[in-house]
Structure 1
């Protein structure tokens, strides 16, 4: 195929306002939140977003060079989809009748792309506008290290609004009114023209994300000063794979919609509820949702002894094995298949695993100590907000003092684990522990074996 449908806007100049706007989306966090959109790359990612049915796509772009014809896939898939849309519109205008159902439904495909055995899957890529530009302009917009492919596909997708998930309220059983409000708010989006959510039709809300259909947060991931986008993307994929509910970012953590995070997460960041807030805000949120705080921390190398209160008594390094002593009982802690729980609170029986948890994963560089100063004058913050560093240090200190510390036992020759790998292992094992609370004996075996 060599000709583009008339609905495609062809762009040839890097000074084009659309090119400048899309480049700002990639490079500027403030611009992303003001406009309420991000860029995603690749036909596979775009197809996954389309088939979910609840993502609003503003722009779809393809790489096009009139000196390098014909157009091939994946760009060809977009062009053919637009042609099918135009044909249906033309038939509707000629017949003055309601538009026939989409092509994939005519051929027997069911909702969400599930098709009958004899049907051919043809995904319809619908957007507000379609553009075509050269490889150089596409590379400029996407910011890739090398030239994009000759027939690349990308899209501008709306950011969803998850603020309602992080409201402060007591832990209670949801009423019918709560459920109705949740379903209504599940269709909210951040828009470019207004900071208020744009409410879509009921047909759109009916296919909303599972994360939007639940108000309660039972497993929260707190990401503290994690700055590497690749790690963030991998953490998001693992968290969604293991059905954790949401994430809280402390100040200094990389934006979930950073272009490298989008790539590393395969755009799953769009379906991952996230809030960036201070330690004082986190403290209030954990209290309102009755979440028990866990801290992923390194086991001090050597012999570990806990007093009767479950507090750590540090001893000098004397062995390559770990020994845990609690209540006069010593145990070797080199089992690589179980988490190590320490400073367990006396008030909490070791048979009672907290059902509602928030897990702190920190930067390998900063650890769980210290708060990054983002500017002078004793103030810190982000996204246009300012926080008193002293208040934040005090709030963080209060949280860490009452948090339960949990560690992944490792071979002593390994100094530390990558934070994404550690978070993946930790979430998987915590899921196993929380889902295996059938009897008191089972819980004791999990924690004390």
Structure 2
């Protein structure tokens, strides 16, 4: 595989080897970007950008290779701009097994044109980071993603979940790969650090029982015809806020659960009856109209509001 890697000895440090466009290693890197099965079998993900690479380094994840985008024959060192020059000048600050140089055309081939790599882009090849899934006592909120097949939406949901302290997730079958290149970019690499479990609905049910979590399905607001619990605060009737919760089992007290599994599905609600258990609580954020919010927006609003309500319950007798 390495026979077509040509050391470039003028200007560039000797440890950097030039990748040619038609090269088996370039094909390997392309497959990491585009092929989920190949990526899973290799247990390697390709990431983009200096900040992400620094985060990976600082987490102690070994870096298999680093690629620097630089033209074939720069006039002088000043022709190589940030962030490429950061690694070229200080490669020892970015420990890796291998260091590569690539023209912008080769980098686009590796990362894909949708990645919009700059002329001095960085990328790195790293093994999947390993995360232990939190124990029950460490976890009172879990985000469950069902049929979220848009990688950008997945990335936004995971980034928001981590930012709001939802420390782990569950991925139902049909949900896109956490290591999809668009998911990694869309989450600013948050998908690399988010512990998850995966499975079918029956597996999820068993997990919910084991962790004593109450499932709440993000739904479109129902304006009437349902018996609901509203967490709207008194004196704030003018604009949408709070949560609406309904579909209560007869034996369950109508109050905000203390241990929550928020289920966000990209499946159209008309198909839920064939897929999603009908005994899950339903939850929505009140809106001015009944238009369905996108999954990332609805999920983010619900996670934030659930956090607020649970924090208020811990502080004292203020009812929710």
Give the shorter-chain TM-score range.
0.7 to 0.9
Partner of 1:165: 133
CA distance in 1, matches of 2:126, 2:270: 34
Question: 1:149/1:278 Cα in 2 relative to 1: closer, same or farther (>3 Å)?
Answer: same
1:358 to 233, 255, 261: 261
Deviation of 1:287 (Å): 0.9
Q: Identify the match of residue 428 of structure 1 among 295, 298, 304.
A: 304
Compute the displacement of 1:439 (Å): 6.3
Of 218, 222, 233, which aligns to 1:296? 218
Aligned partners of 2:146 and 2:267 also within 8 Å: no
Taking a change above 3 Å as real, the CA distance of residues 305 and 81 of structure 1, as seen in their structure-2 partners, is same
Corresponding position of 2:163: 241
Pair 1:370–1:405, CA change in 2 (3 A): closer
Aligned to 1:49: 56
Q: Distance in 2 between matches of 1:34 and 1:427?
A: 33
1:78 paired with 2:62, answer no
1:409 alignment partner in structure 2: 286
Q: CA deviation at 1:10?
A: 1.3
Return structure 1 stretches of 4+ with deviation > 4 angstroms: 332-335
Unpaired segments ≥5 residues, structure 1? 86-123, 174-215, 312-323, 325-331, 372-392
SS in 1 for 2:272: coil
Structure 2 counterparts to residues 23-102 of structure 1, below 5 A:
23-51=30-58, 53-69=59-75, 70=77, 71-82=80-91, 85=92
Retained in 1: the 8 A contact 2:220–2:291?
Answer: no
Alignment match, 1:143 = 112
Residue among 337, 340, 343 paired with 2:244:
340
CA deviations on 1:267-308 (whole Å, 9 max, x unpaired) are 1111011232111111111111111111111123x42342xx
**Would you say 1:283 and 2:235 are equivalent positions?**
no
Number of residue pairs matched by the alignment: 304
Flag the structure with larger Rg.
1
8 Å Cα contact 1:46/1:154 also seen in 2: yes
Q: Please, what is the CA RMSD of the aligned residues?
A: 2.6
Give, in angstroms, the shift of residue 437 of structure 1.
Answer: 1.4
2:147 touches 2:267 (CA, 8 Å); kept in 1?
Answer: no
Q: Does the 8 Å contact 2:226/2:246 carry over to 1?
A: no
Provide the C-alpha distance between the structure 1 equivalents of 2:41 and 2:269, rounded to a whole number of angstroms: 30
Gaps of 5+ in 2: 1-9, 231-235
| CA-CA distance at 1:54 after TM superposition | 2.7
SS across alignment from 1:304: coil
